[in-house]
Amino acid sequence: MSARRRRRGDGSVFEYRTAAGIRFRITWRVPINPDDPDAGTKRKTQAGFTTKGEAAKALRAAVTEVETGRATVDTKVTVSQFAADWLAGRRASTSTVETYRRYVRLHIDPHIGSVPLVDLRAARIARLYRDLEARGNHDRGKEGTGLGPNSVRKVHALLVSILDGALAEHLIATNPAKLPQANPPTAREVKSAKPEIHPWTAAQLKAFLSWCPHDDTDLSMGWIVVGRTGLRRGELLGLQWRYKRITTSYDCSTNGRIADNISKTIGGGGTLLAVAPNAPTNYRYSAYLWQKNFVGSTPIDGVCTNI
């Protein structure tokens, strides 16, 4: 073991060698009981830092926690245990929480779930991301293949939030997922990995919507609604009876952009299609078809009176 750096009251940084190369360990003193200053202090240690700078930064953060009275609780709570509590306390939509749970179950717990929060290092998180890129896909038919940069970056964002929660509860001194050594995919990598999209022109969309009522009668109304509103697949499949109000509140000055001629606001307001009175006939006709098939033949708010 090489010589260590020590400054009284500031803790210490130790260098040591492993089969994987040089690593660094930090030690500092924390209160035995943060609520009882007379209880004394004890030494605390963290190891596995890949650079001296990373170790020194973590040490400064730990010492600052002690000096400001925010010393971390000495605990062996694991990543999986804290993630479960963190998820249970989320105030978000059911679908959002279920997505988070799936990420934790498939991508976080199998790799670092058993690691105590206080022992989780940025280098270990980086290895998690590389493993996901190599073999992290669990989709049917794609098992064992790699996740794309966008998916890995979503896992990273979730892990950052979970560890921020642990930081707020004084379970860790710093968030290792925010250190550069965690090395998640960059925004540029995510963008470059996305396939180039070639959307239909207005003429192509018009031709398709003219064809489908005659040759794809079962799905034609769905295609018309998607084509005229820009609804995503999940939004279309999730339409309910309360989404039936058609108003005349939308401006159709769109410079030829088809999707802007009919707006969508799925939610508490209940507005699904909003067509301006000056909209071209084919757009008003789409609103009419929507009413006829899903709402009833009676025009609503006068949208279809000029057809």
- At 62 the pLDDT is 83
| CATH class label, 5-67 | alpha beta
Give the separation between CA 13 and CA 293, rounded to whole angstroms: 72
- At 179 the pLDDT is 93
Given a cut of 50, the residues of the chain with pLDDT beneath it are 1-8, 243-307
List the structure tokens of 286: 């789409």
* Residue 9 main-chain phi, psi, to 5 deg: 85, -10
Nearest in space to 145 (alpha carbons), one of 156, 131, 159: 131
Give the separation between CA 128 and CA 156, rounded to whole angstroms: 10
Domain ranges of the chain: 5-67, 79-193, 202-295
Cα separation values, 128 from 43, 109, 134, 175, Å? 30, 10, 10, 16
* Residue 33 main-chain phi, psi, to 5 deg: -135, 105
- At 69 the pLDDT is 63
CATH topology for 79-193? DNA polymerase; domain 1 (1.10.150)
Give the separation between CA 307 and CA 303, rounded to whole angstroms: 9
Nearest in space to 66 (alpha carbons), one of 171, 178, 173, 174: 173
Amino acid at 156: H
